[in-house]
Structures are given as structure tokens and as C-alpha cells.
Structure 1
Amino acid sequence: MEDSQKRKLRDIIADAAEKRRFKDDTIQQQQNPLNEETKPTVISLLSDDDEASTEDDDEVVEVQVQVQVQVDDRYRSQIRMIANPEYCKNIDLEADKDAVSLYDLVGSINLKKTYQFNLLIDCGFLIDYFHPNNLDLEIYTINKGDEDTLILNDFEKLSYKFNIIKVDKKLNKFASHHSKMMINFYDDDSCQIIIYTMNLTNPDYKAQTQMCWISPMLKRDPNHSSEESNDALDLITENGKRFKRDFLNYLKSYEELQLNDLISNLEMYNFDDIDVQFIASSPSNKLSFNKFQFDQGLDQPGVKLYGYGKLYQILHEFNLLNNSSNTKFIAQCSSIAAPFDSNKSNLFTHILTSIVEGSKDIVKSPDHDFQTRSSTSVEPVIIWPTEFEVLNSLYRHLSGHAIHLNIERKNNYHAFEKQYDLIKQFFHKWSSSKTVIESKSKRSKLSPHVKTYCTTSNNFKTLDWFLLTSANISKQAWGKPCWGYGSNGKFSKFNKHEFQIDSFEAGIFINPKTVRLKDKDKGKKVVLVPVFGKDTLDDDDDDDDDDGSIVKIPVRLPYDVPLEKYSNLDKPWTVQALERAYENLQE
């Protein structure tokens, strides 16, 4: 095709994207969340009848928006809500306070190259959020790359420089490339990593609650060495270097030649400003750790762990274990898969709880007594939307497509049914608010696709730690135990534990012991404090304690508290509920 024809097609795409940008009601309310510097802006707006008018009679109104720059010295949540303007328009105009949109993440004219890791990528959907004039942008898509997971037509290929990287060679038939993250490079040689919970599709963006973590802008490191160091790092002062090592090891685990340029490029960047830990999963047949391996709190650079093994490592290294009888361990996700033992043992209740409480047995017995507090230290809590919540959400049953729980037997396979009989006692509603106006999180009518895990010992006054991840409650995501360090059978008698992982996942761990503080606060104790509907603490919560020894760091939660347990009348949203919803529509 001649260059002029290509340019014409690209102009059509750019024009469509520009119209979409200025139709969005939130454009005038952008708070520039990724860059605190704000400047006066000139915006050209078309009247409501512009689509029906011709180019000659368009009335262009030039509006100058003067924004007053104010220095905000407050700490802000590193966990960000992904904006949903359409939901705000229909439900609550304040629901997107401090939220970030896809425009914020990929819409910069200065974006030079973006790597998009995901399960599902609709390139036509993604294109609409690029800057309309950024036509030389290079886009790399990283997923299975088949027709079920990647939508890219010839028209879209002409619009931008797409590069497809297929990463399916390590995936078995039950596994998925489930990681959701992007790595962006800008024309000033800066780089930014975003880890989030959303598939790059229109339904995920519009119909479900999503969140993200956005790294600081990373700069090239003038002291970079091309030789990989095996030196032990300080857990606190060199956390950014540990994040970099874990992140690059994850990318290398793909064993994909087409990612080598990305890895080599990232090796030249300074990660020191990152103060979270990276918890990922990568298909691995045999991963292992010893019972007391991380109790000394020392870095072990040769260890490469994923899934629940990495969570185990971090909790032990930083002594974040909590076996108090008051502790709640909260899992909030959008899918609960089959038991890991094909019986009824649930990954969350029978393994993750053991890791969090520092149990002597990492694998609980299938018949473990969860009712007796002496046998179980932490209280398992699963936040899962009810049928009523999904069917009364803004998008009703459509938002339930990506919320998966099977509770019925299939032929002679009873595991789903037996698992549900066990875990239903831990189910809590997505929202405890009676109306959307009462919702603290402002997302009570938007079904969840976000995945979060945390512990609290004081009913959400503070959090011990917080994890945002793509990993649902499944053995494919977190790992399946093979042998050792368990309560009975093949898991008993051994201090070494082995497990395997099937899928790719990515998440970040908020750790109060590595949070970077302002100079005036260094040396003080850090506590994580939940916030709702915004990224900052309330004014009356933002002050230090009377003696000034504590710094409160906000962590934004997607759900409402206090939590409300299921009543006897509440039913969870399930795959069977979705089937019934469609049957009712056809009647």
C-alpha cells in the first residue's frame, strides 16, 4: 500500500481517538496523577452537535483552564483505582477521585515504546487511548498470541508498529499467561512499570472494578554494570535493587529471545526508588525451600522463588508473620479454582493461611478444624460477590462473566461441591453498604475483577501488609504442593518443601518495613492505614500519634468495611448463576 494511503488510514484512527478523548467527561477533570506538576491548559471543545456538522460550520470554543499549583505533602496510596467515567456518570460522580485512566497510562505524546503483558489484548480498544499524534509508537504484545487472546486486524496493524511476542511454549492446557502489566519507555529515556488487574478489553475496563500500581519514573543508571552480581543485598536500603533482580529474573523465566532486548534495556535503569516487593508466578516444575531458610532475614541472591514460595520468603525475611487470634487474612479475587488435591483442600485456606500465620505445617490436612481457634491462628476471610450484588450492579450479569466459581458436581467429580461446602463459611459480601451513596470504596455497584490479599489484626484500623496481584485462588496461579513440610502423608516429615506452578502472574507487595519516607519522617515507625474512595488519609487521620513516632501510609481498598458475612439467604455468584441469568433472558 502506498505511503499516502497508509497515512490516510492512520489519520482516521487518530481522528477517532481524538474524538473519544474529548467526549470523555473526565477529560476536564484530569488531575495529572502521574506527574504532580500542573500547568495552565488550553482546550478546544466542540459543541454537542459537532458529529452532525460539517468541517466548515464546526464552532470551536477555546477555553483556558487555569489550574492553581498546590504543593501536596501528604503520603498517597501506591495502590490506585482505575477510573471508570461511565460508572461515575451513572452512579456517583465522586467515584473516581484520585483514579487513573488508560489515558494516563498510555496516552502521553512522549511515549516511545510500550510492552503490554496480559491474558486478553484487544488492540482496537487499546489504540483509542494512545495520543492521536503519537503514530510512531512501538507496541509489543506479550501473551499466547492466538485468536482467543489477541485481537489485531489489518487495519490496526497499519495504524501503529505492532510486534507480537507469543509466550505459550511453557504453558500446559490448564495454564494461562495471566500477568497484567505494562512497561513504558519515553523519549527522555525514562521508563515506568505498571502492574494492574485488568484485561485490555472494553468489558474489563467498563464493567468491573480494577486497580493498579505505578512505579516511579525510572532513569538510566550511569553506574550500571553489565555483569550480573551475586552479592547479597540489604533488605531495607537496597530493596529497589532486589525488586530489579526479581523483576528481571521473571522476564528471563519466559525463555523468549524476543524479550532479550527489553531485559538488556531494563538492566541499564536504576530501580532504587521502588519500595515494594515483586511477587510473580512463572511455570516451573520444581521449586523448593527449607523450613527455616529465610528466618535470619538475610538476602539470598541465588534463590528464585515464585507463587506462594515467594510470599513465604518475604513474610519470613521481614518477620511479617502474624499468628494472633485476632488476625483476619482477607482474600478478595475474581476466580476460585478447583481444590489442589482433587478433594476439597483449597489453596487459600489450606496453604496461604499456613504461610501467613507461620504454621509448622505448610499444607493443612484436608479435614483441618477451622472452627477451633487453637488449631488455626488467623481467621480466613474470602470477599466474594453475591448473586444479588452482581445482578444489581451497573452491568448486571454481564459483569459476572469474569467471576468464576463452580459449586456443583460434574459427573463423578465432587471436588467443586466439597470445596464449597468447606469454604462457604468464610464468604463475605463485596460491599456492606446498603446504597451506593453509603459505599466507602465507591465501587459497590461495579463487580470486582481486582485481586487483593492482606492481613489486619484490628478490623482494618491498620494493615500488616497488602498484596495487589493478578493471581486468583488457584493452584495454577500460586502453586501446587508436591511433597514435604505438611501435616500428613507425602507432605509430612520433611523440612524441605517442593511445589510446582503452571501460570504466569504478577503482583506487588506493600511492606511497611520498606516504605520510603520523607526526610523529616525517617526513623519513625510505619503503619499501613486503609483509605476508601481516594488515595489520601482523612485530615483527622493524617497526623502522627501524639509522640510523633508513627507515620501513617494510606493503602486504598476496593471494597467496603466493615465486612459483612453471608447470611443463610445469600448465594455466591457462580458459573451456574450466569447460566441461569441467560436462561431467564431467553424465556
Structure 2
Amino acid sequence: MSQDSQHGKWTMSSSEDEDDAPAPAVSKPAERPTARALADTNEGSKNMDALIRSSQKSDPIPSTDIKSESSSPAISSKTIGSEARQAAHSNQHNPVKFETKVPSPAVKRKKETEESGWALSSSDDERPDEKASQTKRRSPSPKRKKVEDKRPPSPHGPSYYKEEPEEFFETSLPPENTFRFYLTKVTGIEKKYNNGALHIKEILSPLFGTLKESVQFNYCFDIPWMVQQYPPEFRDKPVMIVHGEKRESKARLIQQAQPYGHIRFCQAKLDIAFGTHHTKMMLLWYEEGFRVVILTSNLIRADWYQKTQGLWLSPLYPRLPEDSPASAGESPTYFKRDLVEYLEAYRSPELAEWIERIKEHDLSETRVYLIGSAPGRYQGADMERWGHLRLRKLLRENTRPILGEEAWPIIGQFSSIGSMGIDKTKWLAAEFQQTLATLGSAKKSSASSETTLHLVYPSVDNVRTSLEGYPAGGSLPYSIQTAQRQLWLHSYFHRWSSESSGRGHAMPHIKTYMRTSPDFTELAWFLVTSANLSKAAWGGLEKNNTQIMVRSYELGVLYLPSAFNMTKFTIQKNPFPATSSSSSFPVPIDLPPQRYSSKDQPWIWNIPYTQAPDTHGNVWVPS
């Protein structure tokens, strides 16, 4: 559906992270705040507060335009994600330069993709514009052609395939990390701030083992780029891709893999509307053993370029002796059992051999808990298998109450936001906050409501001043349709900041949740996960709280002090450069979080921002 505004027409796309049914269509909507009102980042009178007052007087927002995949146009792309992302992605690789006179989105865009090097990330909850690959571009030089002969032209322009210099990558294992929690490397920052971080090429390199076979679970894929991340000696080793694509998008994904005979596919079953296969995990089988990597990055270059991402890297698990009992190789956190149960939830014969491989290895050194989501409706004891009730169960059984715990705030950061209802009591401040506030088995009638909840989500200015500039916002798919239905949420928002780690301008795609002490020096627990702030990811209670419904596949790991023989984690203030093992936890954001000022607005990806240029001299005008 297109909506006229002062900026011309802009597309209202549906989000795959939507939880509620679409609002009734309105054939002739009354006047309401235009996109311009949100886009003006320099005038406080046009900030989100004005939108709140105005929207309360306006008619309902028209319904989003939800299209079945079978009606999708025949378009091609090297990046597979969700269709709601098309309009934003088109703008990302066709930037509009900032001018003294504010341009209109109707103006013919300058074709500057090749000069500006806009390398864009697909987000987890929206799909890139796949028409982009049809844009005309210069033929590569003979030298580049030799390097890229197996890689089709990228919709992001030639810079998409630009390789980092050799000194960017490590030639030895990174410093020992007590928690095995790592950030990914960022191009364009001081080298010391990448010391102790990891790139995908390093994870797949011989530094970590002699690879025999692997599985890549993810949401967005660029298969030619993914293949290039494996070192030459492992590049023809069997790879299975676990995905959630259907119909045309599935056909496009399979077409990407045609040049690579060593790639197989496993399609995740998505039987509930608006669900996605959002899990990001690697299973790596070596001659020396087996390893698991659970992360927040898609398998596209831009997610490993100038984004803040996180991952947990397991120890190298040795093979168990033959004839070991079924209970052998289990960890105190029951990670082996839970990983097998998660893989079994796919109900896919293609994963059977990997389930058996896991059972044949010793995972006893694992000290994190697995928290997954699998689509379905669950009742009884099964309610605590997945989503936020799984987190609640683990916090109830493996933590202890803390004196004055109501003063210990909860902090969540994420890159996408789903629909949570007309007020906070519908989900966020009710069942979800109750889960996040759980400590020990004691019943707390008021602790969850008294506990402060800080939500860290980038502001417009955070995005504008980032390393990527406005294109970073294409990976933060909070839509105007969803935002206007839950304006109450924005009072929770805090700015993104990670200056202490030297990464303050690498926009986050990481998702973490934690409980800290009032002075922000200690942690009660920490979670890194693929799950954004949405009921689709975490699940929502139904039928008078006797059933939970989960739409998507998600996966993360929970750090609890008890698993490390500690009572609390000390927060490590400056995790970079990493020089030696530390018993302090490397929290990836600056604390305390800074609340939005009166002029701050949450980034909304499908409206224009034209009042100030970004770090590349461009503005943001959705097509």
C-alpha cells in the first residue's frame, strides 16, 4: 500500500515479525502526521511526542499490505531474507546526496552505489529489495574478474566483495576468553579494538580445527560470499544450509548454490503465520572433534563488516569412546540434551546424522545454558521448553534471590521490534518482564513491576553518525506502522553507545538481555541470542495463560554465575584490547544506559530523514 505524504509516495510494507492481525483497511484515511514529522531530526517540535499527541486524534492506520509469497514478482538477489525489506533496500544502494534544499523522494536518484560503497545488511525481520540486482553497473576489470569469476554481480556494488587486508585477520588463536563470548571484528576502527574479536574467516579457519563438514543455520544468506569465507582447503567440504525460505525465495536460494555441488539444504517448517527461521548457528565437525557457534550475524558480508555482533564459541568437543552410555558427555547445564532436543524440533531427516554426531561427542565442558524457540502451541510441561518461559524456568531453578533485587534493572538491546499490543500490560510489562525479573524460586508478587526496564535501541542520530551512516538503519526494521500502534513503548528507549570498546559507531545487530546491579558493576545473568523484542520470537501466553504460542525459530545462550562457580559476574568496563584471560564479563554496551533526550527519536526504517547528512553525505528517502 502506498501513502501520499510531503515526500511523495512511500511504501507501507508488512513485517514478518508482526504478531497481531492487520488493522482494518481504511479507504480514505483522515489527515495524520506525515512521515516528514518523524523525519525532521533537528526540530524538537516535530519529535515523537508530537506524533503521540497527533496520532491519538487520528483515524486508525491503514492495514499493511500483506502479500503471499506466491504473488511475489520474479526478482533475483544474492541476499535471501524477508519481502518486507524491499523498499528500504532499494534506498540503501541508491543513496540520495544531502543538499541545502531538501530533496523529494520523487526526484531521480543519483546512481552513486559504486563510488560510495554502500554495503548493506539484511536484517532479521525484513527482506532486502531483490530488484536491486538489476541495476546497471560497470564491468569488472580483468584483475577483478579473475577473483570474482564464481561470484555474480552484487546488488550492493563492487565494494561488497572488497576484501579486508591480510593483517586484519589473526594468524593465531585469540586471547583466552573465560566466557567464550566474542564480538565480531569491525572494519574501519583502530586495530586494538579488534584484538580479541573474531571474523567469520577466522572461525572457519584451521586455527580452530581441520574441518570435515559443517551446517549453517541462518536467516539471510549470500551463498557465494559464504563459500568464500571458508579457507581454500575446506571450500569443497560438505555444507548443509538450514533455512526458512518458501516457494520463489526458496528457488532463488537453491539457484544461488548451483555452482557449488557440496551444498545441501534443510528447510525449517514454519506452520504459523509471520514466523521466521531466525536462528543463527554453526555446527562444525572436525577431524579433531566437534564445535558449536551460536551468533547474531546473518551470512552476508555486511553483517561482518561494520556491525556490532556477538557470538558464543564452544570448546572443541572430543569424541567419546565407543560404547559410551547415552548419558556420557553431558554438561552440568544439560547443554547436550537441550541441543539435541532443539534439533529434533525441526523434524527433519536431514539433521538426523548431526544429532547422532552430537551424541557421540563429549560436551561436558559447556558452561552455558541453551535457550531456543521453536514454532508451535505448547501446553502443560511443554510450555517451559521454549521462548521466555524457558528462560523463566532456568532463572527460577539456577539463580538465588538478591537482597533488594527490585533495584536491579533489566537491560535489553535488539535490532528489531514487533507488535506488543496497545499498552505495556498486554505483554512487555506483564509476562515478559515477569520472566526477566525472575531470580530464584521465591514467589515475588511485586518485584517484576517494580524492576526498571531499560531498552537500548538506536536513535536516528545514532544511525546517522554511524560508520555506515543511514544504510545501517536498513538492519533496524522498526516500521512506522508498528511504531504508531505502540507509542507507549518509546518511553523505555535508551541510546546505543559502546564508546568504551572503541565500537560506538558500529551499529548493533546484536541482541542481549541482562540483569545488573544498581551501580552497573555486577551482573546477575547475561543472555546473547538471535531473539529480538517480539512475541514472535519469545512467545505469548494464550487461553488464560494455559498455553504459549511461539512463531519463530530462535537460539541463544544464557550465562549464569552458578555455572562458573560465582555468585555474580563482575562487569568488565573496557573489554578491548583483550590481552589475557579475565574473570570479568565483557558487556558489549556502555553502562549506565542513557535515556533518550527530548529531541531523540527511535530509528524507523520506512520514513525519510532529510534534515541532516550522514557520515557519507547522504540522506534517507525510502522508495
User: 1-side partners of 2:270 and 2:452: how far apart?
Assistant: 36
Please, which of 362, 381, 405 is the counterpart of residue 478 of structure 2?
405
Can you list the C-alpha shifts for 1:392-443, whole angstroms capped at 9, x where unaligned?
111112111121223557xxxxxx435222x222211101x7xxxxx10222
User: 1-side partners of 2:180 and 2:172: how far apart?
Assistant: 15
Please, which of 231, 249, 268 is the counterpart of residue 131 of structure 1?
231
Please, which of 302, 322, 344 is the counterpart of residue 252 of structure 1?
344
What residue number does 2:484 align with?
417
Please, which of 318, 326, 331 is the counterpart of residue 219 of structure 1?
318
* 8 Å CA contact 1:324, 1:377 repeated in 2: no
Provide closer, same or farther for how the CA distance between residues 506 and 139 of structure 1 changes in structure 2, counting only shifts above 3 A. same
User: 2-side partners of 1:348 and 1:221: how far apart?
Assistant: 44
Provide closer, same or farther for how the CA distance between residues 567 and 149 of structure 1 changes in structure 2, counting only shifts above 3 A. farther
Moved more, 577-586 or 307-316: 577-586
| C-alpha deviation, 1:499, in angstroms | 1.0
What residue number does 1:335 align with?
416
What residue number does 1:512 align with?
561
* 8 Å CA contact 2:333, 2:368 repeated in 1: no
Provide closer, same or farther for how the CA distance between residues 157 and 240 of structure 1 changes in structure 2, counting only shifts above 3 A. farther
Can you list the C-alpha shifts for 1:97-148, whole angstroms capped at 9, x where unaligned?
2001111111338211110000111111111111113243111000024454
The structure where strand makes up a greater share of residues is 1
Can you list the C-alpha shifts for 1:503-551, whole angstroms capped at 9, x where unaligned?
10000001110126xxxxxxx755342343437599xxx9xxxxxxxxx
* 8 Å CA contact 2:169, 2:199 repeated in 1: no
What residue number does 2:590 align with?
560
What residue number does 1:350 align with?
430
Structure 1 SS opposite 2:563: coil
- Give the share of equivalent positions with the same residue, in percent: 23
What residue number does 1:83 align with?
185
Provide closer, same or farther for how the CA distance between residues 359 and 196 of structure 1 changes in structure 2, counting only shifts above 3 A. closer
| C-alpha deviation, 1:159, in angstroms | 4.0
Can you list the C-alpha shifts for 1:276-331, whole angstroms capped at 9, x where unaligned?
10000001212445xxxxxxxxxxxx986110111111111013455623211001
Structure 1 SS opposite 2:305: helix
Please, which of 532, 535, 539 is the counterpart of residue 574 of structure 2?
532
What residue number does 1:99 align with?
197
Higher relative contact order (CA 8 A, sep 6+): 2
| Mapping of residues 7-156 of structure 1, within 5 Å | 24-25=164-165, 27=167, 30=170, 32-33=172-173, 76-84=178-186, 86-88=187-189, 92-108=190-206, 110-146=210-246, 148=249, 152=253
Does residue 426 (structure 1) correspond to residue 492 (structure 2)? The answer is yes
* 8 Å CA contact 1:328, 1:379 repeated in 2: yes
| C-alpha deviation, 1:151, in angstroms | 5.9
User: 2-side partners of 1:257 and 1:153: how far apart?
Assistant: 19
| C-alpha deviation, 1:577, in angstroms | 4.1
| Mapping of residues 292-311 of structure 1, within 5 Å | 305-311=385-391
| C-alpha deviation, 1:94, in angstroms | 2.6
What residue number does 2:378 align with?
286
What do you get for the CA RMSD once the two structures are aligned?
Answer: 3.8
Please, which of 534, 543, 547 is the counterpart of residue 498 of structure 1?
547
Structure 2 SS opposite 1:133: helix
What residue number does 1:180 align with?
280
User: 1-side partners of 2:416 and 2:436: how far apart?
Assistant: 21
Provide closer, same or farther for how the CA distance between residues 381 and 152 of structure 1 changes in structure 2, counting only shifts above 3 A. same
| C-alpha deviation, 1:182, in angstroms | 0.4
| C-alpha deviation, 1:217, in angstroms | 0.2
Structure 1 SS opposite 2:232: coil
User: 2-side partners of 1:584 and 1:163: how far apart?
Assistant: 38
| C-alpha deviation, 1:359, in angstroms | 9.6
Provide closer, same or farther for how the CA distance between residues 285 and 28 of structure 1 changes in structure 2, counting only shifts above 3 A. closer
Provide closer, same or farther for how the CA distance between residues 202 and 137 of structure 1 changes in structure 2, counting only shifts above 3 A. same
User: 1-side partners of 2:505 and 2:422: how far apart?
Assistant: 34
* 8 Å CA contact 1:451, 1:469 repeated in 2: yes
| C-alpha deviation, 1:560, in angstroms | 1.8
| C-alpha deviation, 1:457, in angstroms | 1.5
* 8 Å CA contact 1:407, 1:420 repeated in 2: no
Provide closer, same or farther for how the CA distance between residues 217 and 163 of structure 1 changes in structure 2, counting only shifts above 3 A. same
User: 1-side partners of 2:430 and 2:480: how far apart?
Assistant: 18
User: 1-side partners of 2:578 and 2:294: how far apart?
Assistant: 20
* 8 Å CA contact 2:227, 2:235 repeated in 1: no
Structure 2 SS opposite 1:220: coil
Provide closer, same or farther for how the CA distance between residues 184 and 312 of structure 1 changes in structure 2, counting only shifts above 3 A. same
User: 2-side partners of 1:585 and 1:210: how far apart?
Assistant: 26
* 8 Å CA contact 1:537, 1:554 repeated in 2: no
TM normalised by structure 2 equals: 0.66
Does residue 377 (structure 1) correspond to residue 450 (structure 2)? The answer is yes
User: 2-side partners of 1:468 and 1:513: how far apart?
Assistant: 17
* 8 Å CA contact 2:192, 2:576 repeated in 1: no
Residue identity opposite 1:164 in structure 2: F
* 8 Å CA contact 2:244, 2:270 repeated in 1: no
User: 2-side partners of 1:183 and 1:375: how far apart?
Assistant: 37
Provide closer, same or farther for how the CA distance between residues 307 and 28 of structure 1 changes in structure 2, counting only shifts above 3 A. closer
Structure 1 SS opposite 2:334: helix
| Mapping of residues 186-225 of structure 1, within 5 Å | 186-188=286-288, 190-222=289-321, 225=324
| C-alpha deviation, 1:239, in angstroms | 3.6
Provide closer, same or farther for how the CA distance between residues 392 and 465 of structure 1 changes in structure 2, counting only shifts above 3 A. same
Tell me how many residue pairs correspond in the alignment: 463
What residue number does 1:444 align with?
504
TM normalised by structure 1 equals: 0.70
What residue number does 2:397 align with?
317
* 8 Å CA contact 1:321, 1:356 repeated in 2: no
User: 2-side partners of 1:286 and 1:156: how far apart?
Assistant: 36
| C-alpha deviation, 1:345, in angstroms | 4.1
* 8 Å CA contact 1:117, 1:143 repeated in 2: yes
Unpaired runs of 5+ in structure 2?
1-145, 152-159, 612-617
Provide closer, same or farther for how the CA distance between residues 206 and 578 of structure 1 changes in structure 2, counting only shifts above 3 A. farther
User: 2-side partners of 1:579 and 1:148: how far apart?
Assistant: 30
Residue identity opposite 1:570 in structure 2: D
* 8 Å CA contact 1:441, 1:532 repeated in 2: yes
User: 2-side partners of 1:25 and 1:507: how far apart?
Assistant: 31
* 8 Å CA contact 1:286, 1:499 repeated in 2: yes
